[in-house]
Structure 1
C-alpha cells in the first residue's frame, strides 16, 4: 500500500543541529563581552529575530549568521566591534564547513527500505549547503529523487506527491521533526516514521499530530524498516 518513502536530511540522515548549537553558544560568548546575558535573555531574542527573518533568509547557516549579526548590533546598541562581527561571520562559515557525519545505522536502514520501495530525499535549507551535504553523504544514488525545498509544509508535500502521481495514503515520511516531517504528511492523509533527535531546533517543536495511528516512533535508525512495514500493515487494514 505504501509506494513511496521520503527521508528528511538534517538530523535524520546526518548530524546537523549540534553544529548550530555550538555556533549559538559561541555567539553568546562574544556578545557577553558587551552585555549581561542573564538580563537580556539573548537566546530568546535571537530566536525571535531568526523567526522574523525566516521569510527573507530562509533556513540554514547563512540565515542564522545574518540573524546573529542583527541581534548583536541590536543588543549591544551598535557597540559591537567590526572584529567581533567578523568572528560571528566565521561562526557561520564553520557551520557551513562542518563534516557530513551519518547517524549510526542510517545507511543500512535507507538501503533496506530502498529494496522494497521507491525513496525520495526531502530536505529544506540553503540550496548550496544542502547540495553539499547530499553529495558528501554518499547516499544520493539510493534515492529516486532529491528535493531541496524552502519549506516543508502541506503544499510542498502535495507538490512532490503530485509529481510522483501518488496519493498521500501511499506515502510515508521518515524524519526527526514532528512539525516539518510528520504533521504535514499525516494531515494530507499520509504516514510518518518519527525518529526523535537528542537536540531539536526550537522552531521545530510544538506540533500536534492529527491521527497518531498514522505515525510510528522509533528510537534509532535500526527501527525504520520495521516501522515502514508496520505502517504498510495499518494501511492495508484501513483499506479493508
Structure 2
C-alpha cells in the first residue's frame, strides 16, 4: 500500500549512482603496489581501512583525503616515504575516483520522476562540496529535488538541522540510502523514518554497524525501483 504525500530524502553515492566501486578498483590497484611489504592483501587492506577511518573522522571525505590515506598507508607498510614516482602513481589512483561521468543505478531516473509527482523530494549527501556538486550536476537529477544539501557529515545533528530548515514532519519523512551508519541510524535517532536499500559495494566503514531487524521505522527494500510500490 502506497503512502500518500511524504517527504523523501535521498542519499546520493551508491543510492542514486555508483560511487564506491571506483574506490574499490583504486584500492585493488594500490594493494598491487604495497603487497609484498604487507604480509598479505588482507593485511594491507586492514591497514588502509584503519587509516581511512582515522582520516575520515579528522579530514572528512573525497579524493584528497583518499590520497592522504594511500600515502600514509604506503609509508607505513614500506617503512619509508613514497618516492616522487610512487607518489605520482598514488595521485593517479586518487584521481581515478573522480570521474566526469556518473553511472546512475538502474531505474533511478524513472523512479525519481514518478515519485516527484506524488511526494516532496530532497537530496542529502556528504563529502567534499566541489566533488559532490560535480556528481550532482553530471547526474542530471538535480531538478528532481526541491533542495540539495551537501554536508561534511551525516550525523544526528545534520538530520535535525534538515528537519528544522524544512519544517519536516518526522512521521511522514523518510531518509533513503544504502549506508546503515550515515543514512539509517542517525536518521532514526533524529526521529525520521528510513528506507534501507543495500548496495553490494557499500564502503566497509559505512556498513560496519547492524540495524535492528525489529525497528518498525525502517523499510527494507531490495532495489531502488521498489520505492514506487511503497510511495
TM-score norm. by structure 2 comes to: 0.92
2:5–2:120: 8 Å Cα contact kept in structure 1?
A: no
| Aligned counterpart, 1:216 | 219
Q: Deviations over 1:74-117 (max 9, x none)?
A: 21111532211110011111111252010000111111211111
Alignment partners' CA distance in 1, 2:98 and 2:190: 33
1:173 to 172, 175, 179: 175
Note closer, same or farther for the CA distance 1:6–1:129 as it changes in structure 2 (3 Å cut). same
Match of 1:32 in 2: 35
Q: Could you say which residue in structure 1 is the equivalent of 2:60?
A: 58
Structure 2 unmatched ranges of 5 or more: none
- Per-residue deviation at 1:2? 5.5
Q: Cα gap change, 1:46/1:82 in structure 2, threshold over 3 Å: closer, same or farther?
A: same
The Cα shift of 1:40 comes to: 8.0
Higher-helix-fraction structure: 1
The root-mean-square deviation of aligned C-alpha atoms, in Å, is: 1.8
Unpaired runs of 5+ residues, structure 1, are 230-240
- Tell me, in whole angstroms, the C-alpha distance in 1 between the residues paired with 2:150 and 2:22: 20
Deviations 1:180-200 (A, max 9, x none): 111111222221111110112
Report the TM-score when normalising by structure 1.
Answer: 0.89
Q: CA deviation at 1:18?
A: 0.6
1:13 aligns with 2:16: yes
2:175·2:195 contact (CA, 8 Å) conserved in 1?
A: yes
Number of aligned positions between the proteins? 227
1:1-240 map, 5 Å? 3-32=6-35, 35-38=37-40, 41-78=43-80, 80-97=82-99, 99-209=101-211, 212-227=215-230, 229=231
What's 1:236 paired with?
none
Distance across 2 between alignment mates of 1:113 and 1:39: 43
Q: Secondary structure at the match of 2:97?
A: helix
Instruction: Answer whether contact 1:46 1:68 (CA < 8 A) is retained.
Output: yes
Measured in 1, the distance between the counterparts of 2:132 and 2:118 equals: 26
Do 1:168 and 1:185's aligned partners in 2 also have CA atoms closer than 8 Å? no
Q: Which runs of 4+ in 1 moved over 4 A?
A: none
